[in-house]
Amino acid sequence: MFSKTKFLTALVFSVLLTAIHVEAQTYSSKSKRSSYKRRSDTGVVLVAGAGVSVLNSDNRVHDFQGEGLGPLRNNGLGQNYNLGIMYRMSPMISLLGSLDYHGFKAAEGMDTDESYNVAFRSQAYIASGSVVVNLVNRYSGRSAKLVIPYIKAGFGAASYSASSFLVGDGGKEIKLSNLRGYPALAAVVPVGAGLDFRFSSAISVSPEVSFNLTSTDYLDNMPDEVGAFGKNDHFINASIKVFYTPDARKYVYKKKRQY
């Protein structure tokens, strides 16, 4: 049921809203007594990234102890790419619009008697919007911090397709029937966290991990009522993102005169 997704989404957004409220109060208080001033870290930022994705599919091989990393290949392992535009409203709060591609490929499990141990390929194109909240104010000290942890949560829509098959003699693929029409649409809720490493006023690099909750059980072309995270096919992706600010600003700190 997608009710779990709704609950987790509401929980994450509550945390984000709380962080925004606390930051607004903290910034208002500090701005009155701070002996330093700066230019605001705001504006448009271009985002690009790439990484790997792992699908929580309905394949039945989950024995990491017996097969090492085999379950990752059975569940669906692939690559992801993303492009986006972020608008920094303040040094703490940003809005992100993103276009993402996730491709998955799964191998058959070792237990060929299990009907769910089949190979499949799937791909999803996702358009989403997210709120990004820095957990630390970059300008809370005497100098700008170079590493900032952040969290994000959003909502989007995915267009996806999938096909499953068996591998016969000589590596020949035996295609299985699609269990629904493709391409299909699904809702997606991405929640994640990362570390923003700033190399200059224009460029920063962030390793990021996201958990993507979906409203579909057909990303692997096989429906099932039972799964580690419920019925639907959710997935995790890890990526490296590059942030580029076209109109980079220099941050200047000036100490006020003491009288």
Q: How confident is the model at residue 2 (pLDDT cuts 50, 70, 90)?
A: very low
DSSP count for the chain of H helices, then E strands: 3, 11
171 has pLDDT over 60: yes
Q: Which residues pair with 150 in a beta bridge?
A: 134, 194
CA within 13 Å, CB half, 152: 26
Q: Which helix (H) or strand (E) holds 116?
A: none
pLDDT score at 209 = 97
Least confident piece of the model among 62-66, 92-96, 228-232: 62-66
Sign of CA dihedral 62, 64, 68, 69: positive
Peptide bond connecting 91 to the previous residue in cis, omega within 30 degrees of 0: no
126 touches 154 (CB < 8 A): no
Tokens at 125, concatenated: 């194109």
Of residues 138 and 132, more confidence is placed in 132
Of residues 241 and 7, more confidence is placed in 241
161 has pLDDT over 80: yes
Average pLDDT over residues 67-79: 74
Tokens at 104, concatenated: 């998955």
74 has pLDDT over 70: yes
Least confident piece of the model among 67-76, 149-158, 175-184: 67-76
108 touches 167 (CB < 8 A): yes
Average pLDDT over residues 62-86: 76
- What are the φ and ψ backbone dihedral angles of 74, each rounded to 5 degrees? -75, -40
pLDDT per residue as tens digits for the range 134-150: 998 877 767 778 899 99
| Closest C-alpha to 154, from 209, 210, 101 | 210
> What pTM value is reported for the model?
0.79
246 has pLDDT over 60: yes
12 has pLDDT over 80: no
Least confident piece of the model among 54-63, 104-113, 245-254: 245-254
Q: How confident is the model at residue 101 (pLDDT cuts 50, 70, 90)?
A: very high
230 touches 4 (CB < 8 A): yes
Q: How confident is the model at residue 247 (pLDDT cuts 50, 70, 90)?
A: confident
80 has pLDDT over 50: yes
